[in-house]
Structure 1
Amino acid sequence: MSTSVSTDLVIEAKGLIKRYGHVVALDETDFEIRQGEVLAVIGDNGAGKSSLIKCLSGAVQPDDGELMISGEKVSLRSPVDARHMGIETVFQSLAVSPALDIASNIFLGRELRRPGILGSVFRKLDKKRMRAESLEAMTQLGLQTLQDIGQSVETLSGGQRQGVAVARAAAFGSKVVILDEPTAALGVKESGRVEKLIKEINARGIPVILISHNMPQIFEVADRIHIQRLGKRIALVETSQIEMADAVALMVGAKTPDELGLAG
């Protein structure tokens, strides 16, 4: 866990509402993440976690409420808007292009051009540099055992594809990195590497939002836990101040925040 968490809010949301027809996915929920922290978001199925993360990453727009980044009110119309503001997200669905190679996936939408006239006029890609930087990013994740950084993503295992997506987020997230179930498709060894990467990202001062059902992982890496239930944030608590069993009980509705002396 981070030892240098600031009280400065990087992302703050107030009263977010998101409806899908008659279904209310977010019911005036609040959210905040501070500079330098790892914040876990937990909740049972239907709690609104996915809708919350999609609003924070620009994938969907809330019907009401305010979203602020570094104290400035913003409207994220797309994930591109979020990326321009330094917010990188790895969704469970993994936004990778199977037919492209690893380096092309990591630099997708941010391709590097060759220096001079070859890049500026003829738009030639600097594939050598992209492959070198991609290899460095993958090595940091502990996936340097891949045979060839130029191999297509469709030839990789599910865990290796996850590694490509996480490495891309780590390479370009300058404000916040959002990881949605980053170890769901990984084995024990690869999961440990992702946990290490989370700590490395955080050590650079970049806050991390971690959505996970892996409670031991959460208690290993997170500074605080945002507990979502029935479309609302019912508690925001320091990880060191709550037992794992109580966090699960709050998540499923077996206990209330009042019973544990917690505020929403």
Structure 2
Amino acid sequence: MTTFDQYAHLSSPIHRWQPRLKLIGLGALIFAFAAVTDLRLILPMLGVTGLLYLLSNLPGRFLLNRLKYPGYFLLGIVLLLPFLSGQTILWQWGWLTVRQEGVLAMVLIVSRFLCIMILTIVLLGTTSFLTTIKAMRSIGLPAILTDMTLLTYRYLYDIAEMFATMQQSMRLRGFRSQSRSKWFGRQDLQQFATLTGTLLIRSYEQSERVYKAMKLRGYGAPRSVDSVHPGTTKGTIWDQVGLATTLSIALSFVAMNLFLGMRIQ
């Protein structure tokens, strides 16, 4: 099973960027892009995001694989907007109506989603996950949140393997889907609900075992400053230039969004 940081060993300007400064810089861009509401900023936003992904040297296939399932979920929601949102009719055929406001809202939501997801993939894909967690701690994120993030990442793969094992077990016991899709035929819903419930129960039991094991090994005891804030160096001059550049771009998007919004009003 592939992981987010399988290409963390590559060499690129983004890979060499000091992790703490990279987290701050890309995080600022993510928040700035999330605040964009003006359609005129979409192309610059996509351009900045595409440039950063090119600088990361991450494969295109890696990006497509990571965007696939979140993209399906998003499209299932936003595809309804052109038909349900707005008053200005662009096209109509019988009861089916496409509205301008809904189309513009869909374009904006999809663009922001792509930019935020791609920047997140760049952040997680160019640094080992443990190093990213340490960088989060170094900028003051509470220990409980970083520990939860690390454990969630670690055991998601265990749950996925458990799910695959249970699927294989059901097939060996004669279960066959009654539809062309893998699970969602009408006659398959009961089996799917049973599988999901069993998986949740097993996951809960495993979480209790992990917590008890961690407590026995001293989890929660006070830690030294070195162990809590590892690697808090300021980085090279190029690391600081990269941080200054990304922060400037983020502030520019926020300022332009506010300026364009005021002009419209």
TM over 0.5: no
Say which structure is richer in strand. Answer: 1
Considering Cα pairs closer than 8 Å and 6+ residues apart, tell me whether 1 or 2 has the greater RCO.
Answer: 2
Say which structure is richer in helix. Answer: 2
Larger radius of gyration: 2
- Structure 2 length normalisation: TM-score? 0.22
